[in-house]
Amino acid sequence: MAHTDQQTMRRVLRREIAGTIALLADEHDFSVMRRYRSFVFDDHTAYLRQVESLLKSRAARGGHTTLALLDPEDYAAFCAETGLDPEASASRARFTAQLAATAPTVPYDGRPLTALLPDLVDESVRRAAQDYATILLTRLGPCATCGEDIGRAAFTRASDLVARILDSAPPGDRHLVCSVSAPAETLVAVLHAERGTEGTPEVDEAEALELTCVVALGLATRIPGGLVMRVSSPGTPDRVHGWRLRGGDLVPLSAAEVFDAYCTDAESGDLISPEPDVDYCAPPDLGRRDTPPEHRH
């Protein structure tokens, strides 16, 4: 009887253990991982099928599982730094545990992997963009004139500007996109702000942080960039507004400039037809400028 009770208690505890699976999302990473003899899979499609079967099995038993991306090069570096044998399955388990604590993850919610993988990749790209922007902001150091940390000051100012954009926007769901031409790549951040029950926008904190970091990078470094906001409300045309990142500030675009930006092919320069039920508008007034132009970092 005591043995049965112990088994029951262990089953109860097992259901409360959360797990993480480090996933090889594409064929290239999968082929790189095959260099380890202990990695027994030889077909990426079959591998994904087995992962999905495991996810379903854990969910059926009441288990909670999250997914993270497994980068073979990061795994090799982790093993080299920690002195672990990359051939050992225990080493992959240790690496997965680190990913669970530090890397972007998405929970398994019953959807097929084909639907979950884009979410996981998008989350990883978002985190990478934020991390890259943060590193660049940190490297800027103090202002030669006033000694203030340039990156921190830019982040504070960007937070204020994003808040003012959301507060001054017309009623509706807001969709903000900021792009900045960073030295190694163009960084793009997206923020969805849905209209809340009290009229105040409901934002995803992770998206807001990423967008603020990218805006801050544009403000601090004065590299080319821009921000657009699309506002959607039932029964009315969508409204599109835009700003240019210039001289350490957000410069509003006129209605004609917003129209040109949206109705010109970015690669060819050819004109494209405007979307139906969309108004291209000058942005709302963001109010006072909190930093004098002669001393913007």
pTM score of the predicted model:
0.71
pLDDT tens digit sequence for 29-65: 999 999 999 999 999 999 999 999 999 998 888 888 9
Per-residue pLDDT at 250 exceeds 80: yes
| pLDDT at residue 214 in the model | 92
Handedness of CA 117, 205, 149, 288 (dihedral sign): positive
- Write the CB contacts of 278 (distance below 8 Å, at least 6 apart in sequence): 237, 238, 239, 240, 262
pLDDT tens digit sequence for 112-162: 998 999 889 888 888 888 888 888 899 988 887 788 888 999 999 999 999
| pLDDT at residue 128 in the model | 83
pLDDT tens digit sequence for 59-96: 888 888 999 999 999 999 999 999 999 999 999 999 99
**What strands, in cross-sheet order, belong to the sheet with 106-107?**
19-23, 65-69, 106-107
Instruction: Please give the mean pLDDT across all residues of the chain.
Output: 85
| pLDDT at residue 184 in the model | 74
Q: What burial class does residue 269 get, using C-beta atoms within 10 Å of its C-beta: 0-12 exposed, 13-18 middle, 19+ buried? A: exposed
Share of the chain above pLDDT 90, in %: 47
- Write the CB contacts of 238 (distance below 8 Å, at least 6 apart in sequence): 230, 231, 232, 275, 277, 278, 279
Handedness of CA 148, 151, 156, 161 (dihedral sign): positive
Spatial CA neighbour of 214 closest among 151, 277, 271: 151
The DSSP H or E segment spanning 99 is: helix 89-102
| pLDDT at residue 205 in the model | 87
| pLDDT at residue 254 in the model | 93
In DSSP terms, 203 is beta-bridged to: 193
The DSSP H or E segment spanning 129 is: helix 113-139
Please give the residue that has the higher pLDDT: either 35 or 275: 35
Per-residue pLDDT at 269 exceeds 70: no
Taking each helix axis as running N to C, give the angle between helix 72-82 and helix 89-102, from 0 to 180 degrees, rounded to the nearest 10: 110
Per-residue pLDDT at 195 exceeds 60: yes
